[in-house]
Structure 1
Amino acid sequence: IQSTSKCHLLVPLRFLPYILVLLLVVTLAVAIGLGVQYNCIGKFRCGSSFKCIQPSARCDGVYNCKDGEDEYRCVRLSGRNAVLQVFTTGFWRTVCSDDWKEAYGNATCKHLGFSSYVSSGNLPVDAVEEEFQRYFVSLSHWLSSNRVTFLHNSTHIREECTSGKVIILKCLVCGTRSRYSSRIVGGNASAPKQWPWQVSLQFQGFHLCGGSVITPWWIVTAAHCVYDLYVPSSWSVQVGFVTQQDAPVNPHSVEKIIYHRNYKPKTMGNDIALIKLAAPLVFNGLIEPICLPNFGEHFPAGKMCWISGWGATEEGGDTSETMNYASVPLISNKICNHRDVYGGIITPSMLCAGFLRGGVDTCQGDSGGPLACEVRSTWKLVGSTSFGVGCAEVNKPGVYSRTTSFLDWIHEQMEVGSFTGKIKLLY
């Protein structure tokens, strides 16, 4: 008997539409489930995996994430006065001055990624912003190891501070500059010591971008400067000079380059990077760090801030031999997102500064450099130069990465480097 092979459906044809609908529902359910898992709504997502953990599992001394990142970023400085807060039992809690010891300050600064500690003090609870006047904690002792501080062993939840005061902390002398003499009257050429945190990032000996000194070891710059040139040995850092011809003979070598893992070249999202030097800088007046802002610190629209760098002085021009500077006002994201300006592409982690009429702006070669604002005689790194349309065009102000949006990321990289010596691309 001769047989003929034929293809047969595994189910009757009349049931096929129902099965397709069922597959579609299952696919959507899985996709939604993965989306929730990936976004970790209301939870903490491990950067080393898709795992989500409860907020209460953060900073509890147990490594719930593969790389232990849930035990980093457990302390922060908040508000205009740098109030100390710790994350414990699922909340950020303000540290009372009750039982505080000076030695805790040194440990805290290390966990913020600083290699230095200056001082701690206290303020009345009602002297700090309202958002930091609830959820309190006191420290009875501070257990420090090479990897993590186990906050759950040292914190005591308080409904209020018995002392009526909370801790403020200073880890680094920053944001100050020596007296300088302007050499050019009415001009915008920088003088020595005027912007001592400004650095020139040089690729194979040529200036490519700017950056800002934030500690003896660390430089903040833009991710787009280093994204396609991820070769630390080809980079060097020059600092403490004004004209390129006066640059020191021996530039500073680069040990590590870290750009934000979520940097998006097409949209310029998360355009921030860190550079770790092979040896620490020596602060001497010509070279000084700029302060990072604190969590929750606000810089209002209209505030006049300052930009600086060796970028071109006109669109398409060569980089400048002399560091230039200019004053620009901060612009609200609402105005900057207007259809006549940037038409909705400005995200909350971006910041605009400049004049809508044009005329003053950063330009090619200024990328990564500082947007510096003075607050009560202290200079703070409010933004890093990211992008713009042309240079100084009408309705196209400069766009900067908003530093306060990346404080978690900056401190985590510094903290990981401080405790392990290893740098990872973490969120």
Structure 2
Amino acid sequence: MSPRLYDYWLCGGAIVTPWYIVTSAACVEDVEYMYAIAGYLKYVPTNLIDSDSCTKAVKKKIVYTCVPRLYELDYAKIEKWSFIDIAVVKVESAYNFDDDIYTSACSYQPRAININYDPLYQQPNTDAMVFGWGHLDVWRNPDDKQDYNQEYMRYAGTRLTDKNECKQYFTNISTLMENVIDKYMLCSIEAGNINEYGEQIIKLRPNADGCSPIMRLLRQGEIENDHGGPLVTWIGSHEVLIGVASVFRVTQDSKCAGPFLYTSTQCNGIFLDCIINGENNEARRALCNKPPKELGFYKVKKYISWKEHPAGLADNEKFLIRPTKPFQYKR
């Protein structure tokens, strides 16, 4: 599926409207043709997606990607994928979340999740949940041909940490990395105390007399090797997307290690809103059409045509071809 001929290539993402998905920029940078699969907990390798009853029915072609490029940052001084590691992609046709195929052949009916633009919900000590299919321990070396993806989607609770605690682990990469973390990212080191429904796992009894230091609960750690996986928290009973999985450290023995970095939706709010809503919102259009020097980033857009691909035209391309009928002359 890729000019790089990746094997077992998989990224996470979050559906934010019937047309758009938010994921990692690293997931779309060097891959030409991609499918989005929603409503399925099971991992299906690329060579089997046309034989699995769910994926063959619900897979959607990606026809557009957009990533931000920093206006003022020097690419030569930091790894490319960690600049602003966030992307918006568009599917060939809008999702019908009420389609019965999701309950008959897949795992659940997908829904769009709201994007968080409020700094209140990404403060240190915020409990959150990250989702993905990645390996739980080892970073896969490029020469390793084993498929480490998990058979079913996993999730892990985590707790956001003060960025100053995380920056010390990444200063050896680049002096600019601290600025990137401060301006665009979220960080976590410890496990959190919520489950996949946003409910507290362990509730402390009300036996304190006065204030005491916060107890931090250590449980199973993060899911590794899963770029673009959604980082979500809860506002009341509603899930909101606060970030996408981006960067983790790798030890000398190829073990994945924290702290873990996520690209913040709030910190990249102008980019996300301009791509998803800017074209249809006259009030936002003036802001979104400002030059990169004023916006602070370039919008790097890529339109993907499936005309030459063996899978055939994308749905949006079929609408551009008007069927013709033979002319009939009647006396």
TM-score (norm 1): 0.46
Other-structure match for 1:342: 170
Contact persistence 1:213–1:219 (CA under 8 A): yes
* 2:134 is the alignment partner of 1:311: yes
CA distance in 1 between counterparts of 2:95 and 2:257 reads: 39
Other-structure match for 1:415: 277
CA distance in 1 between counterparts of 2:135 and 2:11 reads: 11
> Aligned partner of 1:370: which letter?
P
> Aligned partner of 2:239: which letter?
W
Other-structure match for 1:426: 299
Other-structure match for 2:55: 248
- 2:273 counterpart SS class: helix
- Superposition deviation, residue 249 in structure 1: 1.2
- 1:389 counterpart SS class: strand
Structure 2 matches for 1:5-404, cutoff 5 A?
206-229=8-31, 231=32, 234-245=33-44, 247-250=54-57, 251-262=59-70, 266=79, 268-284=82-98, 286-316=109-139, 318-337=148-167, 339=168, 341-343=169-171, 345=178, 346-355=181-190, 360-364=221-225, 366-390=226-250, 396-404=258-266
> Aligned partner of 1:342: which letter?
F
CA distance in 2 between counterparts of 1:374 and 1:313 reads: 24
- Superposition deviation, residue 296 in structure 1: 4.3
Contact persistence 1:210–1:221 (CA under 8 A): yes
Contact persistence 1:368–1:386 (CA under 8 A): yes
Contact persistence 2:23–2:86 (CA under 8 A): yes
Contact persistence 1:218–1:274 (CA under 8 A): yes
CA distance in 2 between counterparts of 1:288 and 1:205 reads: 29
Structure 2: gaps (5+ residues): 45-51, 99-107, 141-147, 172-176, 192-217, 283-287, 290-297, 301-331
CA distance in 2 between counterparts of 1:373 and 1:309 reads: 15
- 1:415 counterpart SS class: helix
- Superposition deviation, residue 426 in structure 1: 2.8
Contact persistence 1:367–1:385 (CA under 8 A): yes
CA distance in 1 between counterparts of 2:136 and 2:64 reads: 31
- Superposition deviation, residue 283 in structure 1: 1.8
> Aligned partner of 2:68: which letter?
H
Residues 381-400 of structure 1, C-alpha deviations (whole Å, 9 max, x = no match): 11100111028979722100
- Superposition deviation, residue 376 in structure 1: 0.9
- Superposition deviation, residue 303 in structure 1: 1.8
Residues 84-120 of structure 1, C-alpha deviations (whole Å, 9 max, x = no match): xxxxxxxxxxxxxxxxxxxxxxxxxxxxxxxxxxxxx
Contact persistence 1:243–1:323 (CA under 8 A): yes
Contact persistence 2:129–2:233 (CA under 8 A): yes
- Superposition deviation, residue 331 in structure 1: 0.7
- Superposition deviation, residue 375 in structure 1: 1.5
> Aligned partner of 2:263: which letter?
S
> Aligned partner of 2:273: which letter?
H
Contact persistence 1:308–1:324 (CA under 8 A): yes
CA distance in 1 between counterparts of 2:256 and 2:11 reads: 24
- The higher radius of gyration belongs to 1
Provide the aligned C-alpha RMSD in A: 3.2
Residues 178-228 of structure 1, C-alpha deviations (whole Å, 9 max, x = no match): xxxxxxxxxxxxxxxxxxxxxxxxx99954211111010000011111112
CA distance in 2 between counterparts of 1:372 and 1:385 reads: 11
Contact persistence 1:304–1:373 (CA under 8 A): yes
Structure 1: gaps (5+ residues): 1-202
Higher relative contact order (CA 8 A, sep 6+): 2
Other-structure match for 2:267: 405
TM-score (norm 2): 0.58
CA distance in 1 between counterparts of 2:131 and 2:258 reads: 18
Contact persistence 1:256–1:275 (CA under 8 A): yes
Aligned CA distance change for structure 1 residues 311 and 270 (closer, same or farther; 3 Å): same
CA distance in 1 between counterparts of 2:241 and 2:189 reads: 16
> Aligned partner of 2:13: which letter?
G
How much identity, in percent, do the aligned residues show?
22
> Aligned partner of 2:34: which letter?
W
- Superposition deviation, residue 342 in structure 1: 3.0
Contact persistence 1:259–1:272 (CA under 8 A): yes
